[in-house]
Structure 1
Amino acid sequence: MNRDRIIGIVAAVIGLVLATLFVIWDLNGAPSWLHYITWIAGALSGWGLVVAFTAGKRGMRP
């Protein structure tokens, strides 16, 4: 595994965990500003998945 793929996987896992926790907290009556942080965590997980997939394609090129 190369460095970019590891960074992508770690970012995706952290983003998914944070998004899950923040959504649960948001649905149980959290402050309104938490909704924006939930979107940021979701974007982090999406960015991590894209980086992990593209790093794998770059690593397989001759």
Structure 2
Amino acid sequence: MSYLPYVIGAYAVFALVFLWDFLAPRLQVRRELRAARLRARRERKPAATPGPATELNR
């Protein structure tokens, strides 16, 4: 009886979980930084304000 398939599977699962544990925080940081930059850009750009009120002419 050989445990080789079990050991290979266990190491494969370990490698996938280890890779996800490495990548997930970095992806979250990138997503949060992008959201912060977009929010800062929206707040920096002045809203479209209407001009001075004038009477309509026909």
TM-score of the two chains, using structure 2 as the length reference: 0.47
- Structure number, greater radius of gyration: 2
Q: Answer 1 or 2: higher relative contact order, Cα 8 Å, separation at least 6.
A: 1
The structure where helix makes up a greater share of residues is: 1
